[in-house]
Chains A and B, each alone.
Chain A
Amino acid sequence: MAADGHDHSPIKQFEIKELVPIDLFGIDASLTNSGAYMLVGLGLIFGFLYFSTGGRSLVPTRLQSISELIYEFVANTVRENVGPKGMQFFPLVFSLFMFVLVVNLLGMIPIPGITFTVTSHIAVTAALALLVISIVIIYGLYKHGLGFFGLFVPSGVPAVLLPILVPIEIISFISRPISLSVRLFANMLAGHIALKIFAGFVGLLLGAGFWALLAPLPLALTVALTALEVLVAVLQAYVFAVLTCIYLNDAVHGAH
Chain B
Amino acid sequence: MAETNKIGGADGAHKDVHTSTGAHGGSAESKFPPFNTETFAPQLVWLALTFTLLYVLMSRIALPRIGEVIEERRERIQRDLDTAERLKSDTDKALADYEKALSDARSNAGAIARETRDKLDAKVAKRQAVVDAEIHDRIADAEKRIQDTRTKALASVDEIATDVAGAVVKQLIDSDVSPADIRSALSKG
Q: A141 at interface (Cβ–Cβ under 8 A)? A: no
Greatest chain A CB density within 10 A among B12, B32, B41 is at B12
Give A18 to B46 CA distance when docked, in angstroms: 12
Q: A98 at interface (Cβ–Cβ under 8 A)? A: yes
Chain A at the B interface: mostly helix, strand, loop or mixed? helix
B1 neighbours in A (Cβ, 8 Å):
92
Q: B22 at interface (Cβ–Cβ under 8 A)? A: no
Give A39 to B57 CA distance when docked, in angstroms: 13
Q: B50 at interface (Cβ–Cβ under 8 A)? A: yes
| CB-contacts of B9-59 with A (<8 A) | 9, 11-13, 15-16, 32-36, 38-48, 50-51, 53-55, 57-59
Pick the contact of A92 from B7, B44, B55 — CB < 8 Å? Answer: B55
Q: Are B65 and A15 in contact (CB under 8 A)?
A: no
| Given A91-B63, A127-B12, A185-B34: A32 and B69 interface contact (C-beta under 8 Å) | no
A34 neighbours in B (Cβ, 8 Å):
39, 42-43, 46
CB distance from B20 to the nearest CB of A (A): 9
Q: A29 at interface (Cβ–Cβ under 8 A)? A: yes
Give A71 to B39 CA distance when docked, in angstroms: 34
Pick the contact of A91 from B5, B7, B55 — CB < 8 Å? Answer: B55
Which of B70-78, B112-120, B124-132 lies at the interface? B70-78
| CB-contacts of A23-52 with B (<8 A) | 24, 27-32, 34-35, 38-39, 41-42, 45-46, 49-50
| CB-contacts of B72-119 with A (<8 A) | 72-73, 76
Q: Are A99 and B51 in contact (CB under 8 A)?
A: yes
Q: Are B69 and A60 in contact (CB under 8 A)?
A: yes
CB distance from B2 to the nearest CB of A (A): 10
Q: Are B12 and A130 in contact (CB under 8 A)?
A: yes
Pick the contact of B69 from A68, A92, A122, A181 — CB < 8 Å? Answer: A68
Q: Are B34 and A32 in contact (CB under 8 A)?
A: no
Q: B66 at interface (Cβ–Cβ under 8 A)? A: yes
Pick the contact of A122 from B34, B62, B66 — CB < 8 Å? Answer: B34
A60 neighbours in B (Cβ, 8 Å):
69
| Given A38-B50, A71-B67, A131-B8: A123 and B16 interface contact (C-beta under 8 Å) | yes
Q: Are B76 and A58 in contact (CB under 8 A)?
A: yes
Q: Are B43 and A35 in contact (CB under 8 A)?
A: yes
A67 neighbours in B (Cβ, 8 Å):
66
Pick the contact of A56 from B5, B42, B69 — CB < 8 Å? Answer: B69
Q: A16 at interface (Cβ–Cβ under 8 A)? A: yes
Q: Are B43 and A123 in contact (CB under 8 A)?
A: yes
Q: A196 at interface (Cβ–Cβ under 8 A)? A: no
Q: A238 at interface (Cβ–Cβ under 8 A)? A: no
Q: Are B4 and A138 in contact (CB under 8 A)?
A: yes
| Given A30-B42, A121-B33: A68 and B70 interface contact (C-beta under 8 Å) | yes
CB distance from B68 to the nearest CB of A (A): 7
Q: Are A126 and B15 in contact (CB under 8 A)?
A: yes
Give A67 to B68 CA distance when docked, in angstroms: 13
What are 23 inter-chain pairs, A to B, with CB distance below 8 A? A16-B33, A34-B43, A35-B42, A42-B53, A45-B54, A46-B62, A50-B65, A53-B69, A56-B68, A68-B69, A71-B67, A90-B63, A91-B55, A92-B1, A95-B54, A121-B33, A123-B39, A123-B43, A126-B15, A127-B9, A130-B8, A133-B8, A135-B4
Q: A72-B70, A94-B58, A131-B51 given. 14 additional CB < 8 A pairs?
A: A22-B42, A28-B41, A29-B41, A32-B43, A38-B50, A38-B51, A42-B53, A49-B58, A95-B54, A124-B44, A126-B15, A127-B47, A133-B8, A189-B34
**A→B interface (CB under 8 Å):** 11, 14-16, 18, 22, 24, 27-32, 34-35, 38-39, 41-42, 45-46, 49-50, 53, 56-58, 60, 64, 67-68, 71-72, 90-92, 94-95, 98-99, 118, 120-124, 126-131, 133-135, 138, 181, 185, 189
The 9 closest A-B pairs by CB, nearest first: A35-B46, A130-B8, A126-B12, A91-B59, A127-B9, A14-B33, A49-B62, A16-B39, A38-B50
